[in-house]
Every structure is written in C-alpha cells, then in structure tokens.
Amino acid sequence: MTIERVAPKTFDALRQVIRDRFQDLSPHLQRIARASLEEPNTFALSTTSKIAESLDVQPSTLIRFSKEFGYSGFTDLQNIFRQRLIEGEPTTREKVLSETLAGTQEVEDVLGNVVEANIAALTKLRKNPNTGDISKVVGMMREASHIYVAGLRRSRPVADYLVYGLLRTEKPSSLLDFAGGMAGPQISTISSADVLVAIAFPPYSTPVINAVMDANVSGKKIVAITDAPDSPLAKNALVTLYVDADTKAPMQPVSGPMGLIQALLVLVGQP
C-alpha cells in the first residue's frame, strides 16, 4: 500500500518533517536532507545539476528526495526554499550590516546588549540545569581513558576550552582534526573505553554531524551538547546536554555552552 504524503507548504514545516523522518531516509537522501537544512540558500538558487554535483548524487536522486516529502518534483520543492528567501527574516549578516550603516548604536549600547544576551543565556542554563544528565556525563568522562571532542564554527572555541580544561586536570583528550582531514581515522581509533563529546548548534556543522553518525554506527560512546532533542547530534548520542540557543542577538552568545563546560570541568576535576 502506497502512502500518499502531503507536501509541507512552508520551509519551517518542511524542516520539521525532514528532522522527524531523517533516520528513516536512505544514506543518499540523508545526505541531501542535511545539505538542505545546512545550506537552504543553495537549494533556493542553484540548478538541479549543480546541487546534485556538489552532493555527489544523481539529479534523479534529488527528484526522489522531493517526492519522498510529497512534492511533484525538485522544482516544486525548490519553490519552498525560494519562498523562504522572499518571506524570511534578514540574515544575521544583514542585521549586523544594517545596524552598522544606520549608525544608531553607540559603543556603550552594543556592549550593553552583548552583555545582556550573555547574561540571558547563563540564566536559561541555570533554570534548566539537567543535573541528572550532567552527573551521567561527569561519570563517563571520569571513567574514559581518552576524551575526543568535536566542534566547529561557533562551537569551536567551546570545544577548544573543553580540551584545554581536561588537559589541565591531566585527563587525556584531543580535538577531532577536521582541518587536517584526520577526523575519520581518529574516530576509527576510539575504543570502548573512550568517549566522544560533540558540540553543535544551529546551523549544525555537517562534518560534526557526520562524525557523530559514524561514531554511532561503530558503537562509540557519544555525549552531545546541543540545543534541542531534534538536533542530529541528540539522535545519535548516548547522553545529551541541552543548552538553549534561541536568542535575538545578532551574534549568538557562547556564554551558555561555556558555563556548562566550566561546570563539567570542575566536577570532573573534583577528587
């Protein structure tokens, strides 16, 4: 019996359906799904052939992906991404640029707004501490022979600080080497006594998502630090710690994740 799927009429609705059904998709369709959420502007503006080439799939696979979500073809799905560009909010870059050109904010105002955004992030962390899961993660990190850490973009300084703090407590740890192309080989060396801590927030970095999926498939122990249960990291982790990433600030604060990391380091380092 064929299930007739109703095509989502907005990008937000499509994004939610993709996240809900991601685990049921084939590997090729998962690759397209990740790219569509990571680079929606590309899906809106590029041709079918160029998108297919960039993802190393056949154009027919893009059509199959579209029909999987109820669309008649890729052009029908692409209209949803184009609609997002027309109706959506300005990008962060546009917001920052417009505020700069407007010249309405003094240095004191900008500094005050940034401080308030960081305070708000820490306040949300304090109100939703996930103490039970934090205790589980601390136990896993204490018992681990080696702790591998993955984080890129906004999460990179958070990942760097975690490794720095772990080394200060004389806990063997290292960053996954995405820049050098050695993250894959590193994952293959993770033993049952080790732990991978992956950190990512929207827009989720594809290399980190892939690293977590590869580690999960091979049975590695994974701790995720991310924003929500529908995060691609959370779906593949043994334990997940959530940090609210919802903020109206042009530059997303890292104080929430940093506060969580500092708490973990203090707890791991306790005698």
Most confidently modeled of 21-25, 35-39, 263-267? 263-267
Please determine, for residue 81, whether its predicted confidence score (pLDDT) is greater than 70: yes
For residue 77, what pLDDT is reported? Answer: 92
For residue 90, what pLDDT is reported? Answer: 45
- CATH number of residue 216's parent domain: 3.40.50.10490
pLDDT tier at 116 (50, 70, 90 boundaries)? confident
Structural domain count, the chain: 2
CB atoms within 10 A of CB 48: 16
pLDDT tier at 177 (50, 70, 90 boundaries)? very high
The phi and psi torsions of 203 (rounded to 5 degrees) equal: -75, 125
Regarding whether 152 and 23 lie in a shared domain, the answer is no
For residue 200, what pLDDT is reported? Answer: 93
pLDDT tier at 190 (50, 70, 90 boundaries)? very high
23 falls within a domain: yes
- Comparing CA positions, the residue from 93, 207, 187, 193 lying closest to residue 141 is 193
- Percentage of the chain beyond pLDDT 70 is 88
pLDDT digits (tens, 9 = 90+) for 197-246: 999 988 888 899 989 988 988 889 999 999 888 888 998 999 999 987 66
For residue 245, what pLDDT is reported? Answer: 66
pLDDT digits (tens, 9 = 90+) for 99-108: 444 445 577 7
Helix axes 59-68, 27-38, angle to 10 degrees: 80
- Tell me the residue range of the domain where 263 lies: 124-269
Average pLDDT over residues 108-129: 80
Regarding whether 216 and 131 lie in a shared domain, the answer is yes
Regarding whether 161 and 43 lie in a shared domain, the answer is no
Regarding whether 58 and 166 lie in a shared domain, the answer is no
Query: b/e per residue, 11-21, with b = 16+ CB within 10 A?
Result: beebbebbbee
Q: Distance between CA atoms of 75 and 199, rounded to whole angstroms?
A: 34
